[in-house]
Structure 1
C-alpha cells in the first residue's frame, strides 16, 4: 500500500492539472510532488525500529518481523494519517517552498505551524506521537525545500499538491488494516474496524490487491495520457503467460491479510519476469498470429513497455487466480 498512496496522489494531481489545461511537464511535476507528500504519513513506521531494538535486547524472544509490526501498531496510522493534521501541514509546507525576499519570513511561519503540530501531539497524545509528528514534519520540509530548489512550482501549488497527497493517504488503509485515526486529535466517528470486502479472508485480500492494482493502472494511464503514449502499443503478448499463475491456487496455501507474503511476492515475480524476459521471436511463430494481433505488438520498448507488460501480466495472473480459487477451492 505504500506505493499505492503515492501513485493515487500522483494520478489525482496530474489529471487535475491536465484538466485545467496545464502543459505536460508541470502537470507531471505537480503529480510527482503530490505523490511524494502522499508517502510522508507512513514515516511513522520508523518508530517500529524500536521493536527491533527490543527484539535484540530480549535476545530473540520474538521473531524480528513480529517485533517490528507489534511496535508499529501503537503509532502507525494514527497522528500522521489525520486529515486535520494534513490540512494544517499542507499550507506550512507551501510556506517552506517560498522563494525570494519573503522566503525567510515564510520559513519562520511554516516552521512555527509545524512546531505547533508537534506540541499538540505531545499534549493530546504522547511523547511518541510528538516524535512521529516530528519525523513527519522533517520529511515534509525536505520535500518542500527540494521542490523549491529544483522546480518552478508556485508555493500555493506546492501547498495544494501537499493537500492532495496528505488527504488522499488515509483512505487506502481502510481495507488492509486497522482504520487510521483520520480526525486526530478528535475522536473519529465510525470506522472502528477495517472495511470487509468479502467474508472469505482470501477473497478479501484478493479484492484489496485488485484495488491496489487499479490504483497503479490509474497512475500509469495518467502518465500515458500526459506523455502522449499508447497503452496498447506498450503491452507485449508475453503478458498472457500470467494466466498460468491460476494453478498456484491449487498448490499454495490461500493467502490472507495475516499471511500474504507468498502470494504478493510470487504474483509480482510473475509480472516482473513477463515484463523483463523476452522470448524468442521467429518469422514462423509470427506467421501464426493474425494481422489483428500483430497490430497490437509493441511499437516502442524501454521502461514504459516493461512496466505495462508486467502490470498486464499481474492483472491476468490475479484474474486467473481468482477464477481457479472460486471454482476449484471455494466450491
Structure 2
C-alpha cells in the first residue's frame, strides 16, 4: 500500500498535466514529485521501530511487534486533510528561489510547519509532535531537493504537494482503520473500514485488486507519456501466472490479518514471470548483459508490464477457483 499511494498520485498528476497541455517531460516530472509527497505521510511508521524492541526480547514476532507499535500513531496526524492543506503551501514556500524573497519565504514555510508540530504536541502529546516533526522534516527535504534539482516553480511544487498529501488517506479505507481526516478537529466521517465483502478472503482479494489497478494506472500513464504500447510490450510468458489458481486449493485462505503467504507467493510468481528470460542455463555473455549492463527503459518496462500481467492473471485465477471451488465446499 505504501507504493500504491505514490503511484496513484504520480499517475493522476502526470495525466492531468498532459491533459492541460504540458510537454511530456514536465508532466512526468510533476507526477514524480506528487508521488514523492504522497509517500511522505507514511513516515509515521518510523515510530513503529520502537516496537521491534519487543521482537528482540523474544516477546512477540517481528511483524506483530512492528504493526502493534504502528497503530499508536499510524494514519493519525500526518494523514489529516487539514494538515495537508497547511503543509503543502509551507513546502511550496521552502521551495522558493526568488533571491530577494527566498529567506522570507523559507522562514514563513518553516513557521507554518512549526505551528503544525506545536498543535500536534498540544493535542496529541510528545509522540504526536515527534511524528509531525518527522513529517515536516521529510516533506521539507523533498521540497528543497525538488527545487534544487528540477525547473518546477514553487507554486507547481506546492500544488503537487497538496495533491500528493490529499490523495494519500483514501487508499487506506479498505485495508485498515481510516485516518484522522481533520486532525486537530474531530470528525464523524468514514470512521470504520470500508468492507468490500463479508467473506474476509474476498475482501482481501478486492483490496489487492484495487492495489493492482493503481499500479496499472501508473503504468498506463508511463506508456501514454512515452508513446509505448502495453499490448506490444507484455511478454506472453505472463500467461504462466494463471497457474497460480491451484494455490487456492493448497493454502489457507488469506485475510487482512494473515496475508503474508498469499501476497509474497503471488508477487513471487509475477516477478519470476517478468524477470526470467532466455534459456534456463545462462551463458557468461548473458549473465554479463543482465547483471553488469544497465537495462534499457524498454527492457525495464517489459519486465514491469509482464510482471503485472502475470500477477493480474494469477489473482483472477485464484479468485475464480476460490469462488467456484473452495467456497461451495
TM-score of the alignment, normalized to the shorter chain, above 0.5: yes
The CA distance in 1 between the partners of 2:198 and 2:55, in whole Å, is: 34
Q: Give SS of 2:258's match.
A: coil
8 Å contact from structure 2 (residues 118, 129) kept in 1 = yes
Match of 2:84 in 1: 86
Task: Check 1:6–1:199 CA distance in 2 against 1; reply closer, same or farther (3 A cut).
Answer: same
Residues 147-162 of structure 1 aligned to structure 2 (within 5 Å): 147-162=146-161
Structure 1 unaligned spans of 5+ = 282-299
TM superposition score normalised by structure 1? 0.92
The CA distance in 1 between the partners of 2:115 and 2:244, in whole Å, is: 51
Match of 1:72 in 2: 70
Q: Give SS of 1:31's match.
A: helix
What is the CA distance between 1:53 and its match in structure 2?
2.6
Q: Determine if the alignment matches structure 1 residue 324 to structure 2 residue 315.
A: no
Match of 1:197 in 2: 196
Aligned pairs, number: 311
The CA distance in 1 between the partners of 2:43 and 2:111, in whole Å, is: 21
Deviating more after overlay: 225-234 vs 163-172: 225-234
The CA distance in 2 between the partners of 1:54 and 1:197, in whole Å, is: 34
Match of 2:34 in 1: 34
Superposed CA offset, 1:44-84 (max 9, x none)? 0000111113444xx32222221111111010000000010
Deviating more after overlay: 213-222 vs 189-198: 189-198
What is the CA distance between 1:301 and its match in structure 2?
4.6
Structure 2 unaligned spans of 5+ = 281-296
The CA distance in 1 between the partners of 2:37 and 2:261, in whole Å, is: 30
Q: Which runs of 4+ in 1 moved over 6 A?
A: none
Match of 2:6 in 1: 6
Q: Give the superposed CA RMSD.
A: 1.3
TM superposition score normalised by structure 2? 0.92
Task: Check 1:301–1:94 CA distance in 2 against 1; reply closer, same or farther (3 A cut).
Answer: closer
What is the CA distance between 1:166 and its match in structure 2?
0.2
Residues 94-243 of structure 1 aligned to structure 2 (within 5 Å): 94-101=92-99, 102-243=101-242
What is the CA distance between 1:12 and its match in structure 2?
1.0
Match of 2:283 in 1: none
Task: Check 1:278–1:54 CA distance in 2 against 1; reply closer, same or farther (3 A cut).
Answer: closer
Q: Determine if the alignment matches structure 1 residue 263 to structure 2 residue 262.
A: yes
Match of 1:290 in 2: none
Q: Give SS of 1:100's match.
A: coil
Q: Give SS of 1:302's match.
A: helix
The CA distance in 1 between the partners of 2:322 and 2:83, in whole Å, is: 42
8 Å contact from structure 2 (residues 41, 165) kept in 1 = yes
What is the CA distance between 1:87 and its match in structure 2?
0.8
Q: Give SS of 1:25's match.
A: helix
Superposed CA offset, 1:219-271 (max 9, x none)? 10011111111111110110000000000000011100000011111111111
Task: Check 1:153–1:301 CA distance in 2 against 1; reply closer, same or farther (3 A cut).
Answer: closer
Match of 1:251 in 2: 250
What is the CA distance between 1:106 and its match in structure 2?
0.8
